[in-house]
Structure 1
Amino acid sequence: MAHGGGAGRLVLAPMEGLADALLRDILSAVGGIDLCVTEFVRITDQLLPPAAWLRRVPELTQGGCTAAGVPVKVQLLGADPACLADNAARAAELGAPAIDLNFGCPAPTVNRHRGGAVLLAEPELLGRIAAAVRAAVPAAVPVSAKMRLGISDTAPALACAQALAGGGIDELTVHARTKADGYRPPAYWEWIARIREAVAVNVVANGEIWSAADALRCRAETGCADLMLGRGLVTRPGLALAIRAAGAGRPAVTLPWPALRPRVAAYFAGVCQRLAPRHAPGRLKLWLSYLRAGYPEAAELFARLRTETDCARLAAALAPAPQPCAA
């Protein structure tokens, strides 16, 4: 059994269509995060050229880290051991500080093409993928995997975890729901504890961590020091700082809206530089839709901007209010 020590690491989860490089930069700059994981890079039957990697993972041009210096693990999704191995080696050559394998995505379009959580029906294949990637990547580059508890039930959970560990991965993140569960609460943290007892690699707990209290309870129930934060961190960008404070017995930490609003504006400015004008507003509204649960001000802003499609007017709405002149 592997047991994490100390306060434990906090990891930003890979969230397809949401936690892109821009949002990784913003959230890691807030503080408290030790590691980010990219949105999955889909691997089919080709070795992706360097330009494709740099487009998907721009952090590779800056030492494999966000602007705040947080390392970014590159996640791969696919079902072909040899092709995944070749592409993992390419990513490592380009500077990826670590490689992750996706066996957790529940999206039907992904699963129909034998990617993500659907592969949990094939523990032997998971082991072969892990072994091929581990053999292809330099020993100094960690290889990890992320999995759910199963497809429609938890029957394959232990076999899948053991197959991945047996294939040579260094670490396993467990999203404590099945594919059929989607993102509906609860997360079955007791299964993470069972998996942790069954494998000889470090286990990272993931699922339904929305507050510092959730994080402390998850650590207690799973025995995992390391936690992966997804929608909870997107909703409350100060969550990692709050967890660190709670874990150290310090007073509660909050990130007030006046401190967050400029970061939202900076995010949207970056989105406007990278995306076509017809797509940029949607990315802003997606993040605001999450922030509504943590900030009444974001809820008001989302309601006011919901139908706005002009980037300039959206940027103006995010700008700080003018301060009155001193007498």
Structure 2
Amino acid sequence: MDRLGLELPIIQAPMAGSQNFELAEAVSKAGALGSIPCGMLSPDQAAAELEQFRQKSDSPYNLNFFCHQMPSVTEQALAEWRQCLAGFYAELAIDPTPNKSALRLPFSHEMADRIEPYRPPVMSFHFGLPEMTLLNRVKAWGSIIISSATTLEEALWLEAQGVDAVIAQGVEAGGHRGMFVSEDLGTQTPTFELLECCTKQLSVPVIAAGGISNAAGIKRALDMGAEAVQLGTIFLLCDESKTSAVHRQALKTSQSSTAMTNLFSGRPARGIRNRLMQSLGDLNPKAPAFPYATPDLVALRQAAESKGLGDFSPLWSGTDRSGCQEISAIALLDDLGKALGY
């Protein structure tokens, strides 16, 4: 908080597909750290988001990137995945041609070239860290480096690589798991259990994330030694969010629980259970490796959403969505700040 001049110990989780710079700007205006997700953006699109943020705010911000390895994928694996979806394509009478523009790409030197002139105050990463040449390049900008850990082993590895802070992402968190050491979901633990392990063994600041939806949860995390909390789900209904209509409706009315699924991207991520998950199973071995599951779902998602249905949409959500409110993010954070005594 001191280094960034924040008034609240809160980081807004970057939520690709559900926000742009506007949510980050509102959060920063309220004294917390706004984040801009760049994992689905081209270098020019990322720069455009930055420009728009900076036109409206001189507050610090966080740019978030994925840093996964692009795996090899066989045509047979892709064909088997499309066969899993064939019945849905026939039902909706749509062209099954994949939309390859939906692929999520990792942080690269091309992206670094484009954003280097801005020297972002904070850079956060998901799925580990970029290769050392890239990481050192970002460090040379003076950017604070943050990354997500889902286990103590990952947290210790991140600290050894020289990150400035570690996000302890508990199993309750919505969206993609930041797993990068193991693919075993049995290693994933609740937020406060992971937080306790990390604060005891790490010397860098720890940020708690997952299932925190109110001032009581924030206070508990801070009392346990967290330097800040990262909140995502709580912002999904805010005025400045770009959450889709079907996603908003599910957050407000769905009686379905959340579950971990690999269907929408190929990596485990938590979202509200919908028709696709119920039909194919939350975790299906036919889903190709991240990020190759996504392109074949784009047409299905668009067709269903045009009918007001979220059957094939990733309805990302943490386990606790009770804190979601249809108000400005500024008002939401003002209320939290007052409840916390800031």
Residue 130 to residue 162, structure 1, CA distance change in 2 (3 Å): farther
Residue 226 to residue 130, structure 1, CA distance change in 2 (3 Å): farther
Q: Is the 8 A contact 2:64 2:124 kept in 1?
A: yes
Residue 226 to residue 163, structure 1, CA distance change in 2 (3 Å): same
Q: Greater relative contact order (Cα 8 A, min sep 6): structure 1 or 2?
A: 2
For normalisation by structure 1, the TM-score amounts to 0.51
Residue 135 to residue 80, structure 1, CA distance change in 2 (3 Å): farther
Give the distance between the partners of 2:59 and 2:248, measured in 1 at CA: 21
What SS does the aligned partner of 1:133 have? helix
Indicate the residue corresponding to 1:231 in structure 2: 233
Q: Is the 8 A contact 2:25 2:34 kept in 1?
A: no
- Deviation of 1:84 (Å): 4.0
Among all aligned residue pairs of Structure 1 and Structure 2, give the percentage whose two residues are the same amino acid.
Answer: 17
- Deviation of 1:145 (Å): 0.8
Q: 1:217 aligns with which of 215, 220, 225?
A: 220
Does residue 1:136 correspond to 2:134, yes or no?
no
> Which amino acid letter does the alignment assign opposite residue 196 of structure 2?
A
Extract unaligned runs of 5+ from structure 2.
Answer: 1-5, 71-105, 178-182, 255-305, 310-325, 327-342
Q: 2:39 aligns with which of 38, 41, 47?
A: 41
Give the distance between the partners of 2:162 and 2:142, measured in 1 at CA: 13
What SS does the aligned partner of 1:219 have? helix
Give the distance between the partners of 2:253 and 2:48, measured in 1 at CA: 29
Residue 25 to residue 196, structure 1, CA distance change in 2 (3 Å): same
Q: Runs of at least 4 residues of structure 1 off by over 4 A?
A: 26-29, 178-182, 306-309
> Which amino acid letter does the alignment assign opposite residue 125 of structure 2?
L
Indicate the residue corresponding to 1:205 in structure 2: 208
Give the distance between the partners of 1:204 and 1:188, measured in 2 at CA: 10
- Deviation of 1:158 (Å): 2.1
> Which amino acid letter does the alignment assign opposite residue 137 of structure 2?
A
Q: Is the 8 A contact 2:61 2:121 kept in 1?
A: yes
What SS does the aligned partner of 1:38 have? strand
Residue 168 to residue 27, structure 1, CA distance change in 2 (3 Å): closer
> Which amino acid letter does the alignment assign opposite residue 220 of structure 1?
D
- Deviation of 1:78 (Å): 2.7
What SS does the aligned partner of 2:24 have? helix
For normalisation by structure 2, the TM-score amounts to 0.49
Does residue 1:73 correspond to 2:62, yes or no?
yes
Deviations for 1:82-114, whole angstroms, at most 9, x for unmatched residues?
A: x846256325414133221112xxxxxxxxxxx
Greater share of residues in helix: 1
| RMSD (Å) for aligned C-alpha atoms | 4.1
Q: Is the 8 A contact 2:43 2:115 kept in 1?
A: no
- Deviation of 1:224 (Å): 0.6
Give the distance between the partners of 1:199 and 1:61, measured in 2 at CA: 35
